[in-house]
Amino acid sequence: MSENTYGPADPQPSFSAAGLDEWVGHVEAVLRGIAHALNNRASAISAVIELSRDPGEEDVTRSILTTELDRLLELSSVVRSIGSPRSGGSEAFAPRDVAPEALAALQLHAEQRDRVIMIEANAAPPTRVPRWMFLRAMIALAATSASPDDRSRSVRLTAVEEGEWLMVRSVDGGARRSVYAGELAIAMGGAPVEDECAFRVPTLAALRQREGL
């Protein structure tokens, strides 16, 4: 694909066996992390039940239960993020609005949760693609770029504008590339970036300019 051409986003993309295997591996790792987190939540709630039997501890138990409820809601949000997409259509959004969802999933990823992962997207331009594809591409890029055998290596994703493209790169990760993120990028009307742990999708401004021609 040339630097100045791109196709429309495909709401029903097809993936290679390697790409699907990669994503299934990430989902399984996140689910292991969620199971571990649920065990922690169950232990905390059990402790609250014991504490609630003591008179005068109502405020403490209420505070703990509120915190635990928030954590359970966060886990539910991650399950929705990695589950079947609710909508396949394209929508306009800013990458900074998707970054927290990607980080939440990566923090539960059994092979990534001990790693320092950062996503710098505050200055990134908006795009208009299927949101679930972009979210999964960010998760896969970050989770694949560093070796699971090197837990000390940090991973930093940056999302920046380069001409007509929104570029998402793994800056501090290793040399591993995500097949799944690359196939998602193509499905979003973009492409993987050669010789980099990165993918690109068209910016919203570029899409609007193209549609106005």
* The pair of three-digit structure tokens given for residue 165, joined into one six-digit string: 């493209």
Contact 27, 187 (CB under 8 A): no
Q: In this predicted model, what pLDDT tens digit does every residue of 85-122 receive, in sequence order? A: 766 689 999 999 999 999 999 999 988 877 888 999 99
Q: Structurally, what CATH architecture does the domain formed by 17-28+83-212 represent?
A: 2-Layer Sandwich (3.30)
User: CA–CA distance from 87 to each of 18, 78, 90, 115, 143 (Å)?
Assistant: 24, 16, 9, 31, 24
The proportion of the chain whose per-residue pLDDT surpasses 70, expressed as a percent, equals 87
* The pair of three-digit structure tokens given for residue 30, joined into one six-digit string: 């996140």
| Bridge partner list, 119 | 157
Residues whose CB falls within 8 Å of the CB of residue 166, separated by 6 or more in sequence, listed in order: 95, 124, 125, 127, 159, 160, 200, 201, 202, 203
Domain definitions of the chain by residue range = 17-28+83-212
Q: In this predicted model, what pLDDT tens digit does every residue of 135-193 receive, in sequence order? A: 999 999 999 887 666 665 788 999 999 999 999 999 865 667 899 999 999 999 999 99
pTM, to two decimals: 0.85
